[in-house]
Chain A
Amino acid sequence: DQQVKQNSPSLSVQEGRISILNCDYTNSMFDYFLWYKKYPAEGPTFLISISSIKDKNEDGRFTVFLNKSAKHLSLHIVPSQPGDSAVYFCAASATRSGYSTLTFGKGTMLLVSP
């Protein structure tokens, strides 16, 4: 049973527009959420995170929103740039346990066209 779901395998956006990547989770124990970005032939790299005590976290062009009641989070990229084209993974952990590992979604491939 998939605990972290990214239902859109791909997303195409024009340069300068907003990209919105969505993620849903089922495990109510998850209290920390992260987004990773992956280019071809490279390992995933950390992008932005959010704790369950917040509903928004912003870092430059990247903003993550968390809706705990809906068990949903989204990553907004504004404005989108061609260099943002990559696979984005949503991940979640239950940090209060102290022995938590990250559970990843299947990823969404973002293509930003000029």
Chain B
Amino acid sequence: DADVTQTPRNRITKTGKRIMLECSQTKGHDRMYWYRQDPGLGLQLIYYSFDVKDINKGEISDGYSVSRQAQAKFSLSLESAIPNQTALYFCATSDSRLAGTTGELFFGEGSRLTVL
């Protein structure tokens, strides 16, 4: 089983609909992230959370919101989806005990969202 699990893996929706992407992890990491990948644009940080009570905006947070329901769960919401939010979304985790040395992120398999 994957350590970082994203649901759904694929979703097609219509403009204006509310969408939630969920992420859960069994790695015991305290830090969680949501990234977006567009062709030719690499990985852009949407939101991140360093613990359950901590939420921070990333580079491209407009149009998105997040909720850290527990240390193991971090969800991303699109309140009113628009076509330019069509992208591949990745959840990632990291361990703050290692942050000063590795900064390594562990990624889920991705959620492909298409907004028509």
Contact = CB atoms under 8 A, between A and B. Distances in A.
B109 A42 contact: yes
Nearest to A2: B42
Contacts of A81: none
Interface string A83-102: 00000010001011011111
B99 A46 contact: no
Given A89-B42, A106-B42, A42 B99 contact: no
B103 A102 contact: yes
Contacts of A75: none
B110 A43 contact: yes
A106 B33 contact: no
B74 interface: no
B50 interface: yes
B103 A43 contact: no
6 contacts: A32-B103, A43-B90, A43-B92, A103-B45, A104-B35, A106-B42
Contacts of B43: 44, 89, 104
